Amino acid sequence: MKLARRLRDDDILMTAWSGIPSPELCGILAGSGYDMVTVDMQHGAHAEASAFTAALQISHAGCPAALRIPVGRNDLASRALDVGFEAVIAPMINTVADAQAFADAMKYPPMGERSWGPGQALQLHKEHTPASYFAAANGETLAIAMIETRTALAALDDILAIGGIDGVFVGPSDLSISWSGGEGVEPDRDDMRQTLVDVAAKARGAGKFAAIFAVNPARSQEFASMGYRIIAVNTDTATVKAGAKAFLDMARG
Ligand code: 3PY
Ligand code: MG
């Protein structure tokens, strides 16, 4: 599967972020030059039907698909892999126990407790027989734990030490809420910058990768130079609005 290979090659992947529950729009984003498309069931409006159909549209456009599950929905993490998503992003992983439960849902024994049934995944990833999928899945499908509170930062080393966790994903908006003790949302706070550098370095030191959400797409190269390997370039809603504004500005002269 593509995503794990590209991360092993140390590529920098820009992901689209889909909250509008349209599989067709996901297919359009997948064909627009992004390296991957992430479907968001935490804050996005996707239900299972739109998310699972989006996995087909994204894959048919030749792009890897990731799913962000709602908080604690590890049952959906396993299903996401069964329908062909290559990665699952779990929000609000604050403790080693949170991370271990997520990893267990994502990995087949002996590493974890994932149950067998990758029906649609085998349709999408035709390079695999059932036997080769079973042998490869723990290495090729990615469990990504979101680090977005001070509690999670304190547990980061232990979360990174879990075999079934492949990478960590910084959510700077939630982190800024926790950082400020609930004073407000300020994802681009200067005083979080060194912590962002440290998270990427710790992930690499543990042989894992780091990802981050760029509310401001102009910060993407800065995040890449810190060592982040997956960068979410704002949301589909922001993307559509920016495109509409650019076209209208052009049309109105
Ligand atoms: C955050 O910044 O909190 C996120 O979850 C990004 O999606
Ligand atoms: Mg968040």
The token pair at 37 is: 């498309």
In this predicted model, what pLDDT tens digit does every residue of 49-102 receive, in sequence order?
Answer: 999 999 999 999 999 999 999 999 999 999 999 999 999 999 999 999 999 999
CA distances from 50 to 41, 63, 94, 127 (A): 10, 17, 28, 25
The CATH number given to 2-252 is 3.20.20.60
Residue 145 Cα to ligand 1 midpoint, Å, equals 12
Mean pLDDT over 8-27 rounds to 97
Q: How confident is the model at residue 31 (pLDDT cuts 50, 70, 90)?
A: very high
Residue type for position 236:
D
In this predicted model, what pLDDT tens digit does every residue of 152-166 receive, in sequence order?
Answer: 999 999 999 999 999
Residues with Cβ within 8 Å of residue 109, at least 6 apart in sequence: none
Strand intervals (E) in 92-203: 142-147, 167-170
pLDDT of 1 over the 90 cut: no
- Residue 61's Cβ-count burial label (10 Å; 0-12, 13-18, 19+) is middle
Find out whether the beta carbon of 148 lies less than 6 Å from any atom of ligand 1. Answer: yes
> Residue of the nearest CA to atom 6 in ligand 1?
171
Residue 15 Cα to ligand 2 midpoint, Å, equals 16
Dihedral, 125, 127, 132, 135 alpha carbons, nearest 10: -60
Give the Cα-Cα-Cα angle 101, 105, 107 (nearest 5 degrees).
Answer: 115
The token pair at 97 is: 């126990």
Measure the CA–CA gap between 202 and 209, rounded to whole angstroms: 9
ipTM of the complex: 0.99
Indicate the SS3 state at residue 69: coil
Considering all CA atoms of the chain, what is the largest pairwise distance in Å, rounded to the nearest integer?
Answer: 62
CB 155 within 8 A of CB 101: no
The token pair at 173 is: 């908006």
Measure the CA–CA gap between 170 and 148, rounded to whole angstroms: 6
In this predicted model, what pLDDT tens digit does every residue of 179-190 receive, in sequence order?
Answer: 999 999 999 999
Mutate to test the pocket of ligand 1, among 150, 174, 192, 230 (most ligand atoms within 8 A of CB): 174
Find out whether the beta carbon of 171 lies less than 6 Å from any atom of ligand 1. Answer: yes
Residue 146 has phi, psi (to 5 degrees) of -80, 130
Rg (CA), the chain: 18
